[in-house]
Each structure stands twice: as structure tokens, then as C-alpha cells.
């Protein structure tokens, strides 16, 4: 009897810990995927400033930013959408429910971004105009993924 009670208490404790771990895991995943987005955004900001003529074209800076964007775009995001990390379930989350269930779709959209980022990397050495054109393709890839998998709470 004593053992049974102990086992129950232990199981209850584990259950609580499991939930807490689940929430932490969901939050960690959300923060990880948002961090990747921030790396995208930072480098896009540098390249867009050049494309719009707000910053002077410096091939070294442009190529570094484009190369880092391309590298970041190769980070696999598909495992960063665990259960409980969707919009409504987790504060701060803007992941549409489809992002959690459609890993192959997320992968497909990310491949499109990766290809566009590789083109941007090639354009980065050619000047502001080439960067501007390649940025439009990257923007299209961002939009295509957000259209399917992002939702404001």
C-alpha cells in the first residue's frame, strides 16, 4: 500500500515535470526558430540598405551578409515546431497549426529560401542592382512560407 502510494506520488511528480518540460521544450523551440529568423532579418537589412542606396556598396560586407544568410537558410527548421509551440498554445508564438503537422511542406518552403539565398550570394559581388533583384526572390520565399505557416494570435 505504502509502495503504491509512493509510486503514485512519484508518477504524479513525473507527470508535472513532464508538462513543465513540455512547455519549456516548446518555448525553447520557438526561441530557436525565432533566432534563426533574426539572423535572416539582420543580414537582409544590410543587403536591403545597399540595394536601396541607403548604404554604400561594399563588396566585402555584402558578400559576408549574403553568405551568412545562405548559411542560416540551411539550418533545418522542421524539428523546431513541436506540439504545444503553435499560436494560441504558447505565448509569443505565431506558428500556424499547419507548421506543426506539415514538416515536408515546411522543408519545401525552406529549400526555396535556400536556393534564393544562394542566388543572392552569387549576386552580392555584382553590386547594388543585382542584390536588389535577388532580394525580391528571397522576399517571395519568405512570403510563401509565412503565407502557409504563420498566423498572428
What's 126's DSSP letter?
A: T
Q: Which stretch binds another protein (CB under 8 A): 17-25, 55-63, 100-108, 136-144?
A: 136-144
| Separation CA 49–CA 21 (nearest Å) | 41
Q: What are phi and psi of 97, to 5 degrees?
A: -50, -30
Does 146 participate in binding another protein (rule CB under 8 A)?
yes
DSSP-based three-state secondary structure for 75: coil
Site pattern 47..66 for another protein (x: CB under 8 A):
-x------------------
| Residue 34 C-beta: closest distance to another protein, Å | 10
Which member of 61, 75, 100, 144 binds another protein (CB under 8 A)? 144
Q: What angle do CA 38, 67, 46 make, to 5 degrees?
A: 55
| Separation CA 39–CA 59 (nearest Å) | 20
Does 81 participate in binding another protein (rule CB under 8 A)?
no
Q: Which stretch binds another protein (CB under 8 A): 5-13, 23-31, 44-52, 75-83?
A: 44-52
DSSP-based three-state secondary structure for 30: helix
DSSP-based three-state secondary structure for 147: helix
Q: Which stretch binds another protein (CB under 8 A): 19-27, 33-41, 56-64, 122-130?
A: 33-41
| Residue 41 C-beta: closest distance to another protein, Å | 4
| Residue 137 C-beta: closest distance to another protein, Å | 11
Q: Which stretch binds another protein (CB under 8 A): 43-51, 76-84, 102-110, 122-130?
A: 43-51
Show Cβ contacts of residue 122 under 8 Å, excluding neighbours closer than 6 positions.
Answer: 134
Amino acid at each position: 500500500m505504502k509502495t503504491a502510494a509512493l509510486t503514485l506520488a512519484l508518477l504524479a511528480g513525473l507527470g508535472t515535470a513532464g508538462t513543465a518540460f513540455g512547455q519549456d521544450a516548446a518555448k525553447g523551440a520557438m526561441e530557436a526558430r525565432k533566432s534563426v529568423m533574426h539572423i535572416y532579418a539582420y543580414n537582409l537589412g544590410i543587403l536591403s540598405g545597399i540595394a536601396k542606396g541607403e548604404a554604400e556598396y561594399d563588396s566585402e560586407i555584402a558578400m559576408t551578409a549574403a553568405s551568412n544568410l545562405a548559411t542560416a537558410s540551411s539550418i533545418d527548421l522542421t524539428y523546431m515546431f513541436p506540439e504545444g509551440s503553435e499560436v494560441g498554445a504558447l505565448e509569443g508564438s505565431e506558428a500556424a497549426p499547419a507548421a506543426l503537422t506539415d514538416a515536408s511542406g515546411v522543408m519545401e518552403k525552406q529549400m526555396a529560401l535556400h536556393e534564393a539565398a544562394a542566388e543572392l550570394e552569387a549576386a552580392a559581388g555584382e553590386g547594388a542592382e543585382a542584390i536588389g533583384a535577388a532580394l525580391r526572390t528571397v522576399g517571395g520565399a519568405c512570403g510563401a512560407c509565412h503565407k502557409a505557416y504563420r498566423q498572428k494570435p
